[in-house]
């Protein structure tokens, strides 16, 4: 995923030009779209009914892990199938994304019915 040859450590005793710390190392944007709509019905003078429908992650986006970027000098290793399983730029597909980032789950919806009197 990441090319180790595109990165270089600063010379010994000198500061680099990058920030001291990146909170989300080149991580992808992870948007979450929610959608809801509702309607209030008047039944009597002081009685009303509200109906609401709410959806989370309405576009059902897929989320992937951020590539590892702790050591640009780390060499990548592959398994017998040719799939990368460690090293710089490796994407760990075995760890669930929710363990490292609070990503929304699959598309879900709720229906809410409320009476006011």
What is the reported pLDDT for 50? 97
Read off φ and ψ for residue 94, nearest 5 degrees.
Answer: -85, -30
What is the reported pLDDT for 9? 73
Which residues in the chain show pLDDT less than 50?
none
pTM over 0.75, yes/no = no
47-74, pLDDT tens digit by residue?
A: 999 999 999 888 887 777 777 766 667 7
Q: Which two tokens stand for residue 44?
A: 């009597």
What is the reported pLDDT for 98? 54
3-state class (DSSP) for residue 98: helix
* Sequence spans of domains, the chain: 33-62+106-117, 64-100
């Amino acid at each position: 995923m990441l090319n180790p040859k595109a990165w270089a450590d600063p010379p010994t005793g000198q500061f680099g030009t990058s920030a001291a710390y990146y909170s989300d190392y080149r991580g992808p944007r992870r948007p979450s779209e929610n959608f809801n709509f509702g309607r209030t019905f008047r039944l009597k003078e002081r009685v009303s009914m509200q109906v609401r429908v709410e959806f989370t992650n309405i576009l059902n986006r897929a989320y992937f892990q951020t590539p590892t970027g702790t050591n640009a000098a780390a060499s990548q290793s592959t398994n017998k199938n040719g799939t990368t399983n460690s090293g710089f730029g490796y994407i760990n597909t075995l760890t669930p994304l929710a363990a490292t980032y609070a990503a929304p789950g699959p598309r879900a919806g709720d229906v809410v019915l409320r009476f006011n009197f």
